[in-house]
Structure 1
Amino acid sequence: MLTSAAFGQSANKQNPAEKVFYEWLSAINSGKAEQLEAYKATYHKQWAVQNMLDIWERTGGYQVVRIEKNAPLSFIVLIQEKASDALHRESVTVDTTGNDVNVKMVIEDIERPADLAIRRLTQGEAIRSFLQHADSLATSGKFSGAVLISSNNKILLKRAWGEMDKEKHMLNTAETQFRNGSMNKMFTAVAVLQLIEKGEISLDGKISDYLKDYPNKNMGQVTVRRLLSHTGGTGDIFGPGFDANRANLKDNADYLRLYGSREPDPTNGFSYSNYGFVLLGEIISAVSHMSYYEYIDKFVFGPAQMNSTGELPENVDLPGRAPGYMRVKGKWERNDSTLPYRGMAAGGGYTTVDDMLKFVHALQAGRLVSKAMLDMAMQPNFHDAPSGYGYGLGFELYGDKQLVSFGHEGGADGMNGELRVFPKLNRVIVVLSNLDPPAAHRLVDYYSLRMPAK
């Protein structure tokens, strides 16, 4: 375990903020409830120890990369997860003016700085390194799922790890259907872009232009562009309302009946919104005079030949659909009790790694939308420079120059998937998992940081 002594500072000479950080680091890296309880009692009485244990289990703890600021009441440090390449900037500020030590701690995701870049490998080396890493994660129970990597239209790797069904000890295969969470948003976005090209929807059209009886007039003024880019302040669908009505939320329209009266968030910045994409699903239905599911099946999955992708209800028996497993107090439990009735416009469907590659090929071949429309969707409406994360019109964006990429992640209890497409390299990475996030995301990152950049 790294300590302050590793950076030339003995424990009894630490500044107050520095001392708080290293006590937190020692507690989180211990993975022990009693040590976390002691830290909580001293500095963060509102924290939940189980949440901290979950973080430890997911990350493996943290190691210090470098200290950026060490002032008496302010300490800023770069840390890396032991179980992944993920870097974070942690800021600790301390107020000692009162009787108690008041601590504020912020941990932010950051893009890996150039001086900390991981060495690029040859294609063969990158695949071998990836396989070794995935094997290790699967052996330790931190990955279960399927992977597909292609370059220049040639599949370099297609393989599955772990159990599809833990109770029956059935193994995953490359054909297993995994719940894809918010990856569905790409399909919804493509449907909207198709209808824009047909002149039936306008990017600057308002919700109320298409859903004439929308109950909240202020929300009705939000535009399609802002819905696609998560800048409309439309909010989430999960929480107490969802939990109380989960069994009755069977269609996008049911979510509108539940949430349609609420006001939009007055802030105008990026705020990830599941409800915004539910609204887009209803707009698709209203404009096309088809159900959302019929439209997506006919105009997205059909042309792309995605025959193993869909949003059928959970009570429909699909032998190839993997149950999801969430980690609860250190044990795996099925996520059945958390699932919506069926997938919808914001997420919750299922797919395979092969079908996601077919989706990419259909997009790039112009079978779903024109190249001009696709290019417009990939322009960032939001970009977070420190983390490198951006968002276009229904697609997540990463990187720049040769390494610019688009795609989408999806994740919830017992499910995680990600598609990342590098158009300038003609390279595609798909990882799908039936475990909690970030099981798939971390593997996508692992390969993308090591693959050749040309």
Structure 2
Amino acid sequence: MSSYESSGQRKKIKSPFSGAVLVAKDGKVLFKKAYGHASKETKAPNTIETKFSIASVTKQFTAMLIMQMIEKGKLNLTDSISKHLPYFSKDLGDQITIHQLLSHTSGLPHYEGLEKIGIRASSFFSTQYTPKSFAKLIGNTKLIHTPGTSYHYSSLGYILLGAILEETSRQTYNELLQKSIVQPLGLKNTGFESNDFIANQVAQGYNFRELEGFDWLITKQGGKFNTAPFRDQSNKYSTGGMHSTVEDLFIWSEAIRNNTILSKELTAKMLTPNKDGYCYGWMRNWDDLIERNTNVRMYTHGGTLPGFNSSITLFDDGTTIIFLANVHPLKDKEIIHQIYLTTHGLEDKYRLDGYPDRGSLSNFESQGGIKALNTYFSKLSKLCGYKVLPSTNSITGIMYLYIKNEQQVKADSLKNVFFTDFNPRESDLNRAGYDFLQINQCEFALEFFHENVKKSPNSANAWDSLGEGYMICKKYHEAVESYKKAVEIAQNKNSQHLDVYKTNLSKAIKKLEE
């Protein structure tokens, strides 16, 4: 950890580490230490008692509060949103259950869903919401898949769980949190507090940006820290608004292991993997960790906010690794993996092998090609207990190799598998389309943009990207029609990008007239 704090560490974990770490085995703390500054402006150091924003680790506490309400008979996993939030969109609320909110299978979008209904990211972070007003806002978003059919991480779903908790208990989220978890466990530095509390009692968050060229050489840590923008507590709420310390989170982790504040039966239910290995507020067998050490099994969850990273991992062998950091970004899986190896005196030799090299087509095919790739992910899926697929970048990279080597049939075949089996996100399809435009593969690239508007017909950005694809491919009539659709959708949603879409449309019309 000291090496991660010092210069050169960016090559390992992206940013110089600043925060606190705790490692335990079988309930006994083996190591705890703090690094860096809670405030670089005042030079106040981080300590073990320093409070950090824990971001999405908050979801564990929200899930526990829901399970406690179930234990008391006040909620059921099969209850719909509509049953407990009468002000929420009934059409949407009737379709989604508490179980689906907990397991990220509700079909609700993540924060990108807000932008699609005209909520500008630039203003969202500073906007104050009540749980009721935030829930109503979420009720205006569009489902991205049928509830219960697929996993899609959605912080908005956990906002609704907080609203349900308040409606059912007639207490605020923090009052319920204090009464049901914080006080029973004797946590001294954990809670959900006001903006003033976060600004004055919690470590300041920083974003780290690497420098390049000569600046990289003359800067001790190879980059610069910038104070992270402040985000209003009301829109972090029950999905990411809590603060804590590593010591408090260790007490929390032991309560999970020992069923201290929830029955053994319901704790087991909370930790049962659902689609893609997500439990309720916990991830079972994170594939990035299993790839690095095939012998371990764990429950884990991380969190990120501007300027903050958090992580808590409970290994089946009794090892607990917790870190809280006031710097972003960090390679959390690398930190966890290296700490685990050091804790157990192990060498880094337990990685899953068999992933074919993708540096060139000859290397890829000599090492087994697609067959080897399928075998690798079949092994990984078996180890994790759920289906794991290659990353979008891996698949599009292999398509690139095929195209570069004039094997268009193989590229087309893999593209079709990608569309049908991978359920790519809007951003994945857009990125792939632009990547193939850069190598002058117009028709191939356009298929990704077409797939995007097919999957996201109400996305102005998807239609705008299709228009740009047509423009680059000199199909100006089609570009005009696509840009018109983008402008129409953007106008209906009061999009912050409307002027950009209008400008693009004007350029396309001018080209068409020429």
TM-score interval for Structure 1 and Structure 2 normalised by the shorter chain: 0.5 to 0.7
Q: Which of 395, 405, 409 is residue 282 of structure 2 equivalent to?
A: 395
Q: Which of 403, 423, 443 is residue 335 of structure 2 equivalent to?
A: 443
Output the CA distance in 2 between the equivalents of 1:234 and 1:393: 16
Asked if 2 retains the 8 angstrom alpha-carbon contact of 1:229 and 1:391, the reply is yes
CA shift at 1:253, angstroms?
2.3
Matched to 2:303, the amino acid is G
Instruction: Name 2:69's counterpart in structure 1.
Output: 195
CA shift at 1:355, angstroms?
0.6
**In the alignment, structure 1 residue 302 sits paired with structure 2 residue 183:** yes
Asked if 2 retains the 8 angstrom alpha-carbon contact of 1:278 and 1:344, the reply is yes
Relative to the length of structure 1, the TM-score reads: 0.64
**In the alignment, structure 1 residue 358 sits paired with structure 2 residue 358:** no
Q: Which of 299, 310, 313 is residue 406 of structure 1 equivalent to?
A: 299
CA shift at 1:273, angstroms?
0.2
Q: Any residues of structure 2 matched to 1:375-386 within 5 Å, and which?
A: 375-383=268-276
Change (3 A) 1:137 1:148: farther
Q: Any residues of structure 2 matched to 1:122-137 within 5 Å, and which?
A: 132-133=3-4
Instruction: Name 2:60's counterpart in structure 1.
Output: 186
Q: Which of 370, 374, 394 is residue 263 of structure 2 equivalent to?
A: 370
> Which digits, 9 at most, give the CA deviation of each residue in 1:161-181, with x for residues without a partner?
111111111111111111111
Change (3 A) 1:341 1:253: same
Asked if 1 retains the 8 angstrom alpha-carbon contact of 2:229 and 2:306, the reply is no
Q: Any residues of structure 2 matched to 1:225-374 within 5 Å, and which?
A: 225-237=99-111, 240=115, 241=119, 243-267=122-146, 268-316=149-197, 319-327=200-208, 330=211, 331-341=224-234, 343-374=236-267
Q: Secondary structure at the match of 1:316?
A: helix
Instruction: Name 1:171's counterpart in structure 2.
Output: 45
Between the two proteins, the alignment pairs up a number of residues equal to 318
Asked if 2 retains the 8 angstrom alpha-carbon contact of 1:182 and 1:411, the reply is yes
Matched to 1:346, the amino acid is T
Output the CA distance in 1 between the equivalents of 2:8 and 2:233: 29
Please identify which structure carries the higher helix content. Answer: 2
Change (3 A) 1:132 1:436: closer
Asked if 2 retains the 8 angstrom alpha-carbon contact of 1:214 and 1:220, the reply is no
Output the CA distance in 2 between the equivalents of 1:174 and 1:441: 22
Q: Secondary structure at the match of 1:148?
A: strand
> Which digits, 9 at most, give the CA deviation of each residue in 1:205-233, with x for residues without a partner?
11111112312413432011110000111
Q: Secondary structure at the match of 1:275?
A: helix
> Which digits, 9 at most, give the CA deviation of each residue in 1:303-349, with x for residues without a partner?
12122011212223665410101135753221234454574111122
Change (3 A) 1:158 1:320: farther
Matched to 2:281, the amino acid is G
Asked if 1 retains the 8 angstrom alpha-carbon contact of 2:51 and 2:202, the reply is yes
> Which digits, 9 at most, give the CA deviation of each residue in 1:397-435, with x for residues without a partner?
22689732113100122100000012x322211000001
Asked if 2 retains the 8 angstrom alpha-carbon contact of 1:183 and 1:418, the reply is yes
Identity across matched positions, percent: 27
Change (3 A) 1:334 1:341: farther
Asked if 1 retains the 8 angstrom alpha-carbon contact of 2:23 and 2:32, the reply is yes
- Structure 2 residue ranges without an equivalent (≥5): 212-223, 347-514
Instruction: Name 1:425's counterpart in structure 2.
Output: 317
Q: Which of 434, 439, 443 is residue 326 of structure 2 equivalent to?
A: 434
Relative to the length of structure 2, the TM-score reads: 0.57
- Structure 1 residue ranges without an equivalent (≥5): 1-129, 384-389
Q: Secondary structure at the match of 1:392?
A: coil
Output the CA distance in 2 between the equivalents of 1:304 and 1:182: 20
Please identify which structure carries the higher strand content. Answer: 1
Asked if 2 retains the 8 angstrom alpha-carbon contact of 1:150 and 1:428, the reply is yes
Matched to 1:349, the amino acid is M
Higher Rg of the two aligned structures: 2
